[in-house]
Amino acid sequence: MTPANSTAKPAPPKGWSQKLRSPRFWLKQLRDLAIMALVLYGVSRYLQRDMVTGQAPALSGIAIDGSHLALNTTQTEPTLVYFWGTWCPVCRVTSPMIETVGQDHRVISVAVASGSDSEIQRFMDEHEYHFPVLNDDSGEQSTQWGAMAFPAIYIIDTQGNIRYVTSGVTSSWGMKFRLWLAQF
């Protein structure tokens, strides 16, 4: 037995090379990653809880540039419908990706509670966005679609069915992949 006041030194702390070789270290990392993934999945599902699925609601109107926009029930290609706002910080991250996707795919965007047509156009010009925009200043369209968290993105197939929904940040390749899948 060692006396209570012995001069025995505690074990030195493990270095990174030792930690990386430890199965316990990797199990803790895996556990933490699984918990984070479950939390993110739960938040995502919560934000999408009101988003409409099935047949897409009607969506048509005069765009801020004066052109007529309509989501048809029979289309030749899938369409990405994007609900966003000039006031939305997450939309500022997502909109450049929508611009990229819009170069190769059909996009209809709906600016929610973002001011007058000229204010939205000024925002579009400042950020060099060219995707078409319907102004939903009253929030009527976003309510009809169940878009309560922004940005809200819907992928509509050629028969007018909502195939995929998401809200918050997503990637351009993820949107392109979902548009590709919606063809089948």
pLDDT tens across 53-91, in order?
Answer: 999 999 999 999 999 999 987 789 999 999 999 999 999
Domain membership flag for residue 5? no
**Domain co-membership, 34 together with 78:** no
Segment 1-33, tens digit of pLDDT: 555 566 666 766 678 878 888 888 889 999 999
Q: Are 52 and 145 in contact (CB under 8 A)?
A: yes
Q: For a pLDDT cut of 70, what percent of the chain falls above it?
A: 92
Q: What is the dihedral of CA 46, 51, 53, 58, to 10 degrees?
A: 180
- Is the residue at 10 inside a domain? no
Q: Do 83 and 144 belong together in one domain?
A: yes
Both 89 and 157 in one domain: the answer is yes
Q: Could you tell me the residue range of the domain that residue 40 belongs to?
A: 16-47
Do 30 and 78 fall into the same domain? no
Whether 146 and 59 map to the same domain: the answer is: yes
- The number of distinct structural domains making up the chain is 2
Q: Residue 68 belongs to a domain with what CATH number?
A: 3.40.30.10
The per-residue pLDDT for range 127-178, each reduced to its tens digit, is 999 999 999 999 999 999 999 999 999 999 999 999 999 999 999 999 999 9
Rounded to whole angstroms, the Cα distance separating 183 from 110 reads 23
Clarify whether residues 174 and 122 are in a common domain: yes
- Domain membership flag for residue 29: yes
- With tokens 């270095």, the residue in question is 15
pTM: 0.81
Note whether residue 140 is domain-resident.
yes
Q: Does 152 map to a domain?
A: yes
Cis amide leading into 13 (omega within 30): no
